[in-house]
């Protein structure tokens, strides 16, 4: 499920145990229709969102009702990690076409201390 993210991380040496650990963090996978909100500004997200397939964008609604695009998300990209610290999303995420997203549960620890010992060390 996290193959695009793992491919990005493989620019660094990434042991197989670390890949398995990352894949184990996935709470669920959703197929999302094109032009759909995945997260709305002000919502409390289920966790960190990772784009597994397709494309999305982060946006804010301006006072006059227009949408301002903040960033584009491609396979392997994730919502900002600070979303784990916030109670509510400070921006929305919208699909640009059909997409598959994975969610990492906000209640699971994703600190390096929770990783298997040899998964935290770079492979040689």
Q: What is the pLDDT of residues 59-98, one digit of tens each?
A: 999 999 999 999 999 998 888 665 556 677 888 999 999 9
Predicted TM-score (pTM) of this structure: 0.72
Q: What is the CATH number of the domain that holds 27?
A: 2.60.120.10
Kindly report, residue by residue over 11-66, the tens digit of the pLDDT: 677 777 877 777 777 878 899 999 999 999 888 887 888 899 999 999 999 999 99
82 domain residue, yes or no: yes
pLDDT at 112 over 60: no
34 domain residue, yes or no: yes
The number of domains in the chain is 1
The whole-number pLDDT of residue 42 equals: 86
62: containing domain: 3-107
pLDDT at 99 over 90: yes
**CA of residue 4 relative to chain centroid, distance:** 11
The whole-number pLDDT of residue 28 equals: 86
């Amino acid at each position: 499920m996290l193959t695009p993210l793992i491919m990005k991380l493989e620019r660094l040496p990434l042991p197989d145990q670390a890949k398995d650990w990352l894949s184990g963090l996935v709470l669920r996978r959703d197929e999302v229709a094109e032009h759909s909100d995945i997260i709305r500004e002000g919502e409390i997200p289920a966790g960190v969102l990772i784009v597994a397939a397709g494309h999305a964008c982060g946006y804010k609604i301006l006072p006059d009702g227009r949408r301002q695009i903040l960033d584009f998300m491609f396979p392997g990209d994730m919502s900002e990690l600070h979303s784990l610290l916030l109670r509510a999303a400070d921006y929305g995420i919208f699909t640009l076409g059909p997409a598959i997203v994975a969610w990492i549960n906000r209640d699971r620890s994703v600190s390096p201390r929770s990783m298997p010992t040899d998964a935290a060390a770079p492979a040689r």
